[in-house]
Structure 1
Amino acid sequence: MTDTTASGFDWRSFLRRWSGEWADSLPAGETRSETDEAARQARWLGFPPASEERIAAMEERLGRPMPPSYREFLQVSDGWRHAGGFVGLLAGTGGARWHENASGLAEMFEQYLDEDAGPEERREADVWRRGLQLDVESDITYVVMDPEDVDGDGEWAVYTWASWRAAPPERHASFLEFMKEMYREFHCLRARPCDGRPVFVNDTTRKLDTLVEEARLEALRGGWERAVEALDEAGEYGRPRAKGLGDQIRRLLGRTYMLDFDDLVTDPRYAPELLPLLAAEHAGHAYRGDSALTSRLGGAGEDIRALAHALLERIRNGTYRYTAAGPFGEAVERARELARWGDTDGAWRTLREALPRWEPLGPDHLAPLGWVADPVLGPLLTPERGRELLSTPRGGQAGEPPEPTAGLDPGGLAWLAEPDPVSSRTSYRFVLVEGVEPAELPGLLADGDGAALNPPMSSWEAHRSLLDGRREFSSYEDRALLAVGRAGSGWSFAFDGHPAPFDRQRFVSPSEVAAAGTRAVVVWSDLRTRHGNPFFHLSVARDGAERYAFTYADGEVRQSGQIPPTLDPSRFFGTVAAVGPEDGAEAERPLLEALAGEFGVHLPRHAIVHGRLHTFPSRSWTRPPRDGEWYWSAWIEEPRGGRAAGGGEASGEETRR
């Protein structure tokens, strides 16, 4: 008899290898059943081959020819013991039978179906009525082959389900694929050291461990795609190091689900680099208790658990700062300084150029990762940049560097005219100041001498922080929450992507106060408004005095001063009486392009939309009410007795009298 079957798969060698590895994994002196002891001594988990007559009789009894791979298996062994960790006996020719919903699982899965359930979902319910049951003895685990889920080779899909797994039925394309998975499951259950068990080392594990080491070196050379494929293969067998190494690659590709870095995260060498990633992912889910983070650390010592919770607190309050050793660590500091003022493309270039000089913390460290949890550096990561980082040779390995990814910022101002998929923004306002550093802007645009920048935050975080603890609100105040950064050579910006409604009668441009001893530009636009009328305001001041301005609103343009020809509003609004929201949207892009060209400025899209920038609340952009003008104000008192108390005075909408 030849070892290979018509399909080309060598069942006999496969089953012999499995049996021998199982026998060698059993503890000496362990009490076991007579059949298991006989199987150990024989180094064979199977049975004698089934004759063609027995297989034919089985097919006649069941009324169907068996699928090819199950038939080939029976010709080598008429049944199987210990298929994986939870099926004690797998059926041969005498034990296979139609399940006919003996488990009652059909009704259970039908309860979860709705009117929109597709064929695959319905198959998961119906398979328990029509499937051929293969499990004879199991730990509440069901194994059925589906005679109606058949591929082009005549193979029946195999479905398995166990109540304690709390998951949908698992589908295997054929009996052969099911058996390969059970072999991998056996390996996974033996891979971890266990009291009393022999060290699990054999030809298969040695081959896989060599594959892991080769994949590690390949990853450091930049061949991450080949590396992750090999690591995933070894990981399916539960080989140590495989998942921890593979998770590092997956995290830089932007994935977070089910990543825990395995034993590496509790290794004191790697914990400072990997724990921040788990803490940051945990902090992003407010509903999770902190014990959920600790549970992901397995048997970690108290020092690692304490470090995890300290990192979680720093990430929550925005004070976590990633650091690294050597030249790469120096580049990290330069990159953070660039990123916190909006130059995310420059920050990424700084990290990328220093990457070949990055120093791993140990042999199982594939790439710098902790920076992804840094509140300022983390927004630099995109899937494309992650692939670029992974493709860059590092850690002392040589290889061909990848082509740099394109920058994320388009330059100029015209991107503001594009739809914002994050916030659906149509309105925005900003101040540009020449010859002033971003950190100096609160001194020009905020009230009082104590104005200071908030720590870098996302736009959403900044607005939430502004409202937390605020007790008084007034209809005449319009204090913008401004994000600050650099807007090109010699310019700084203060940007508000969530402005209040524009009130031309009470609006006061901050251009004059911002232009003390310098030049300032103020823009406020809502040309793509979905509610009300479109408007646009521009004012330019120098040395504390307005030089020119125009405001388009309510179908007319009002202007003052000598406006440069490049910014003449007639170029953009034409016959102003005819301009509507659609016309205003068409005018917005060329107007922003002209502004960028006139002043040589740009706003960093990625930092404003996705990044974290310093912010501060400005002085009001509206004047105080005059005599005879009414306004409303409201305040919220501190909670007393567990209930929030409130009060206020109002006259409805503000009214001039």
Structure 2
Amino acid sequence: MTDSTVFDWRSFLLKWSGEWADSLPDGEARGEGDEAARRARWLGFPAASEERIAAMEERLGRQMPPSYREFLKVSDGWRHAGGFVRLLAGAEDAHWHNNESGLADIFEEYLDEDAGPEERREADLWRRGLQLDVESDITHVLLDPEDVDEHGEWAVYTWSSWRAEAPARHADFTAFMRDMHREFHSLQARRSDGEPVFANDTTRQLDAQVEEARLEALRGGWEEAVKALDEAKGYSRARAAGLGDQIRRLLGQTYMVYYDGLVTDPLYAPELLPPLVAEHAAHSYRDDSTLMFHLPGADDDLVSLAFATLDQVRDGTYRYTAAGPYGEAVERARELAQWGDTDGAWRTLMNALPRWQPLGPDHLAPLGWVADPLLGPLLTPERGRELLSTPRAGQPGEAPSPTAGLDPGGLAWLAESYRGNNRASYRFVLVEGTEPKELPGRLTDNDADKDGTVLNEPMTFRETLQRSRYNRSEFSSYDDRALMAVGRAGTGWSFAFDGEPAPFTAQRFVSPAATAGTDTRAVVVWSGLRAPHGKPFFHLSVARDGAEQYAFTYADGEIRRSGDIPRALDPSRFFDDLEDSARAERPLLEAVAEEFGASLPRHAIVNGRLHTFTSRSWTRPPRQGETYMTVRLQPAAMHPAEGERLGDNGPEAGKRP
């Protein structure tokens, strides 16, 4: 709410009038009233007396809100309120709208049958509002006598037929006039090339404010900076939107963030194009026609760069780079992130941030990394605030407290249900003293994979599922090969994780622990204690130097065990209540983590990208007399080979010889 008792209407209106007069091009044809206003440098009229205002209130049957009353005491009406209201009412012309426009009928027609009182009250605005627009470009200005604050101020609503929006609300008449002053400035700032530069005390003050906000943002004072930039943006001051959008993007605010005026500058494009393109890729559904809307004035080279970056973002190959010490930290962070240590990757970036250098004077923070498939998932709103609060580019200031890590450590988080982790079954292999890139050599049958170099490019959990389901041409009822994500599992361990395994079959399950643990130690866990369908189960097996040491399987309400199981992992300690076996999941995972000192990175598995590979089958082949089914899918463009029956490429059932 604007305090009308302290608002200096005369100074404000005189400044506005002078700016308007100076903005008129020489020789432009004007009406008699506008010409007189230009010469007088006054858009208003003589002040309304207290008697005139009282007569108005008696005619309307209501006391006018304080801010409008104070305005009338300075000017009884106003010319050119913004860009679309040519004449604003004074004491004589203000009148109840009484659905003069017919808009009440239109807005009521669009109400749903179950519309509530508030929605109906909004539509009724056009019957009860006090109309202030006298001459306008199909723009209505109404004071609402039912939207009143504690100071007696009435809200102002504006609506234009060509804007196709709901009426805009202004807290009171002072706020409305200040918004119209901003609108006047915004329109003038967008003058065509060749017209005189629009410059005055207001624009110079705002431009100085933008520069100070830029320095304040680099010092870590982003909250004050973004307020100052947003105010200048309302007046369409150059640089304000482009600078403010950089702050908003790091806060996770992506709507209407286009880095106006900067993204098409070749100096800044390497940092600002990738996040713009990544946001487009996330919502375009392969319709790229709108991308050019956000690249006004871009030359051919920049357009080519934009679409090349778009292709890289979509196929997951975009790689962010930076110069100097910060660029070296980026490479170290990518190495950590690709094996699951996202907290370590973030700390690496933050520790190097004070040494980061901008590409130019309008660059506030590193931004291209948010489009990197490995680094982008590191960003959260909390981390964005930490980055923005950190002094950089040689500016002084105090570093903020580090944000908490996103990985809780251990394994117990797998037993929690929350957004992004609603899996009821999962399985993983832990291998001691082995790098993640070596796991395919321990968990595959293919000799070509034995060198440990065959890993897919990093994928999200969702992409992993899609590839697992849609890139297969053969499905077998006995073969259970898993597309597993790999990474580091704490100090001295690596992991292979499958977040959506096939159904568990205790009779044919073969633990990969022994083969994974050749010349080292390996742990296998497969849990389905919260499976909504089927019976709950849990398996643990531990092997050393290629031989299984101990194992147990809980399934069908029974526990089968082998080897000398340590007391800390004894299943009888966890499955004392076989009727409620789901309660055993968390303490079991805690015990496994404690016994082996291993953990799985929650953030990387749930939200990040990890390398993947296809493991050997987790089930044994069928035995003599066991029936199985194999389904092979033939591409539509392929034809059966000569002498091959088409039916042989569909479902087939048989017995293992």
- With normalisation by structure 2, the TM-score equals 0.94
What residue number does 2:403 align with?
Answer: 405
What residue number does 1:365 align with?
Answer: 363
What residue number does 2:86 align with?
Answer: 88
| Cα contact 1:431–1:521 (8 A) shared by 2 | yes
| Cα contact 1:551–1:559 (8 A) shared by 2 | yes
Q: For 2:545, which of 539, 543, 547 is the aligned residue?
A: 543
Kindly indicate whether residue 622 of structure 2 is the aligned counterpart of residue 620 of structure 1. Answer: no
Kindly indicate whether residue 601 of structure 2 is the aligned counterpart of residue 598 of structure 1. Answer: no
Matched letter for residue 638 of structure 1 = P
d(CA) in 2 for partners of 1:118, 1:303:
53
Q: For 1:421, which of 415, 419, 422 is the aligned residue?
A: 419
What residue number does 1:337 align with?
Answer: 335
d(CA) in 1 for partners of 2:317, 2:185:
43
Q: Deviations over 1:600-627 (max 9, x none)?
A: 1111111111111111121211122222
Q: Deviations over 1:208-245 (max 9, x none)?
A: 11111111111111111111111112112211111111
* Gapped regions of structure 1 (runs ≥ 5): none
d(CA) in 2 for partners of 1:412, 1:438:
18
| Structural mapping, 1:149-168, within 5 Å | 149-168=147-166
d(CA) in 2 for partners of 1:585, 1:312:
45
What residue number does 1:438 align with?
Answer: 436
What residue number does 2:168 align with?
Answer: 170
Matched letter for residue 593 of structure 2 = A
Deviation at 1:288, TM superposition (A): 5.8
Kindly indicate whether residue 584 of structure 2 is the aligned counterpart of residue 587 of structure 1. Answer: yes
Q: Deviations over 1:424-483 (max 9, x none)?
A: 112110001122211111122123134421111110012213334433222222221100
| Cα contact 2:77–2:91 (8 A) shared by 1 | yes
d(CA) in 2 for partners of 1:640, 1:119:
60
What residue number does 1:639 align with?
Answer: 636
| SS at 1:384 equivalent | helix
d(CA) in 2 for partners of 1:260, 1:88:
32
| SS at 1:363 equivalent | coil
Q: Deviations over 1:69-123 (max 9, x none)?
A: 1121112111111111111111112222221112221122223322443444223
| Cα contact 1:24–1:198 (8 A) shared by 2 | no
| Structural mapping, 1:40-119, within 5 Å | 40-119=38-117
| SS at 1:262 equivalent | coil
Matched letter for residue 541 of structure 1 = A
Matched letter for residue 584 of structure 1 = S
d(CA) in 2 for partners of 1:6, 1:536:
70
Matched letter for residue 94 of structure 1 = E
Deviation at 1:40, TM superposition (A): 1.4
Matched letter for residue 245 of structure 2 = D
Deviation at 1:19, TM superposition (A): 0.7
Change in CA separation of 1:656 and 1:59 when aligned onto 2, cut-off 3 Å: farther
Matched letter for residue 437 of structure 1 = E
| SS at 2:155 equivalent | strand
Matched letter for residue 544 of structure 1 = G
Change in CA separation of 1:223 and 1:626 when aligned onto 2, cut-off 3 Å: same
- With normalisation by structure 1, the TM-score equals 0.94
Q: Deviations over 1:331-380 (max 9, x none)?
A: 00000000000001111111010000001001111111111110000111
d(CA) in 1 for partners of 2:470, 2:584:
38
What residue number does 1:534 align with?
Answer: 536
* Gapped regions of structure 2 (runs ≥ 5): 639-645
Matched letter for residue 208 of structure 2 = T
What residue number does 1:461 align with?
Answer: 463
d(CA) in 2 for partners of 1:568, 1:241:
65
| Cα contact 1:85–1:186 (8 A) shared by 2 | yes
Deviation at 1:61, TM superposition (A): 2.4
| Cα contact 1:5–1:72 (8 A) shared by 2 | no
| Cα contact 2:465–2:500 (8 A) shared by 1 | no
Which moved further from structure 2: 435-444 or 632-641? 632-641
Matched letter for residue 174 of structure 2 = L
d(CA) in 2 for partners of 1:474, 1:26:
79
| Cα contact 2:339–2:487 (8 A) shared by 1 | yes
| Cα contact 2:443–2:515 (8 A) shared by 1 | yes
Change in CA separation of 1:114 and 1:322 when aligned onto 2, cut-off 3 Å: same
| Structural mapping, 1:92-491, within 5 Å | 92-287=90-285, 289-451=287-449, 452-491=454-493
| SS at 1:264 equivalent | coil
d(CA) in 2 for partners of 1:158, 1:437:
66
d(CA) in 2 for partners of 1:469, 1:156:
62
Q: Deviations over 1:391-432 (max 9, x none)?
A: 111011011111111111111111112113214112110001
Q: For 2:501, which of 477, 499, 502 is the aligned residue?
A: 499
What residue number does 1:570 align with?
Answer: 572
Q: Deviations over 1:566-625 (max 9, x none)?
A: 211112113xxx413xx3232222211221122111111111111111111212111222
Which moved further from structure 2: 449-458 or 630-639? 630-639
Deviation at 1:323, TM superposition (A): 0.5
| SS at 2:627 equivalent | coil
Q: For 2:626, which of 625, 629, 638 is the aligned residue?
A: 629
Change in CA separation of 1:242 and 1:43 when aligned onto 2, cut-off 3 Å: same
